[in-house]
Structure 1
Amino acid sequence: MTILDEIETEAWHILTSIYTHQRLVEGLAKSPTRFELANQLVALNALLEMLVIRIARLADKRKDARSVSMLLKRGSFRGSSVDVKEAAEKFLSLAEPVLKMRHEQIAHMKLGTLSSYEPQDLPAEAIRATESLVDLIDIARGQPLSYTYRVGSMEPVIDLRASLAAGEMVAA
């Protein structure tokens, strides 16, 4: 598996986390018991933290980290090197606020930063960084990729990319 394959897989996980977070928020009002509501609140916040962590690790600039920086240094791709570098720099720039969230709110709990029990909205910065990451992968692959999610043979195939853009479930 190449570094580009690994980043593409990570992008799928990020898109799936965003999709799942959005669907859980929609279902909050339908929670039949307080215990189920409380469980959904915990799951929502855990998904949000995982989303931030996944984006932040792709923006890591250490030499030994499997990241976008490593893709630029060691990766092979079909797209133009100049275009890939430009798209990577855009992702890294858009991921900066997400890195700050990771450092201050999740990893190190900056003084005065409290964990929340109430569901948190998906940060716009995380959405923009994700869109940029998907664009980077398309450029590196030389073609747009589809990201789908299917939980079983009787359920529809979900287009994660279109769902991200629409903010709601979009069947493939």
Structure 2
Amino acid sequence: MAKKSFTSAQDLLEGLKDDILYLLLTVLAHREKQRLPNIAKMSREDLVLELALLESGTRDIVARLTALDDDGSGSRSFPNALAAMNREGLEAKKADELKTQVKAYRGAINDLKVNHRNSYISHVREFAEAVPRIVDKPVRFEASAGLAVNVLDALMGRQVGYRFRVGSQEPEIDLRARLSA
């Protein structure tokens, strides 16, 4: 029987870093677009389209945040990264500390998972409304996004930098600093 191969902890952590980088970029875009900076120039149709895109961004953010908690085999997530670290010989005391943080993340995003993803995105109920909720029932995902950043810091054993460059002529964006401001 062939030995089952596992992804290394380092590979999972690097992938999670990329996932969170894109998550933070999406959170920044959402924050900026949510301000509706061009509302004075918008037609009503433009406003509706902008709100639909904001709703779509919210769904993407929620999906990314909940994916970080996926413990299914082959998923790139905090639980699976921790499992890989344990397989590779993580010290018991550190493993317990990290397990507590990963479990706290699971608890923190449970509301997003149950009340938003499961009923409105992934497992849409028969009579669910399809209208955007961005105005009347905005989804509060900011604290969960911040916690995701902190959990990856703990797993990697250092503060992770999230920098993004739009192009060669623009200055680099420090997403961590920009979003905490």
Give the TM interval when normalised to the shorter protein: 0.7 to 0.9
- Select between 85-94 and 115-124 the one with higher mean Cα deviation: 115-124
Q: Secondary structure at the match of 1:2?
A: helix
- Pairwise CA distance, 1:60: 1.5
Instruction: Give the paired residue count.
Output: 165
Q: Cα 1:31–1:42, aligned 2, differ >3 Å: closer, same or farther?
A: farther
Cα offset for 1:20?
Answer: 0.4
- Mapped to 1, the partners of 2:41 and 2:51 lie a distance apart of 11
Q: How far apart are residue 84 of structure 1 and its match?
A: 1.9
CA gap of 1:86–1:111, structure 2 versus 1, over 3 A, is same
Counterpart check, 1:51 vs 2:61: yes
Residue 165 of structure 1 corresponds to 180
2:146 alignment partner, SS class: helix
d(CA) in 1 for partners of 2:108, 2:38: 30
User: Residue type matched to 1:5 in 2?
Assistant: E
By how many angstroms is 1:92 displaced? 1.2
Post-superposition shift, 1:72? 1.5
Q: Would you say the 8 A contact 2:82–2:155 is kept in 1?
A: no
Compute the displacement of 1:162 (Å).
2.6
Q: Could you tell me which residue of structure 1 aligns to residue 111 of structure 2?
A: 97
Consecutive unaligned residues of structure 2, counting only runs of 5 or more, are 1-9
Q: Contact 1:28/1:37 (CA < 8 Å) preserved in 2?
A: no
* Post-superposition offset of 1:19: 0.6
- Note the aligned Cα RMSD (angstroms): 2.6
| Percent identity of paired positions between Structure 1 and Structure 2 | 21
Name the SS of the counterpart of 2:170 in structure 1.
coil
TM-score, structure 1 normalization: 0.81
Please show how residues 89-168 of structure 1 align to structure 2 within 5 Å.
Answer: 89-100=103-114, 101-117=116-132, 119-120=134-135, 123-124=139-140, 126-166=141-181
Aligned mates of 1:148, 1:43 — CA distance in 2: 24
Counterpart amino acid of residue 98 in structure 2: V
C-alpha contact 1:148 1:157 (8 A) present in aligned 2? yes
Deviation at 1:22, TM superposition (A): 0.8
Q: How does 1:59-78 map to 2 (within 5 A)?
A: 59-75=69-85
Q: Which amino acid aligns with 1:85?
A: K
- CA deviations 1:52-71 (Å, max 9, x no partner) are 11111111122332221111
1:36 counterpart = 2:46: yes
Equivalent residues of 1:15, 1:160 under 8 A apart: yes
The whole-number CA distance in structure 1 between the counterparts of 2:24 and 2:169 is 22
Give yes or no for the alignment of 1:84 onto 2:93.
no
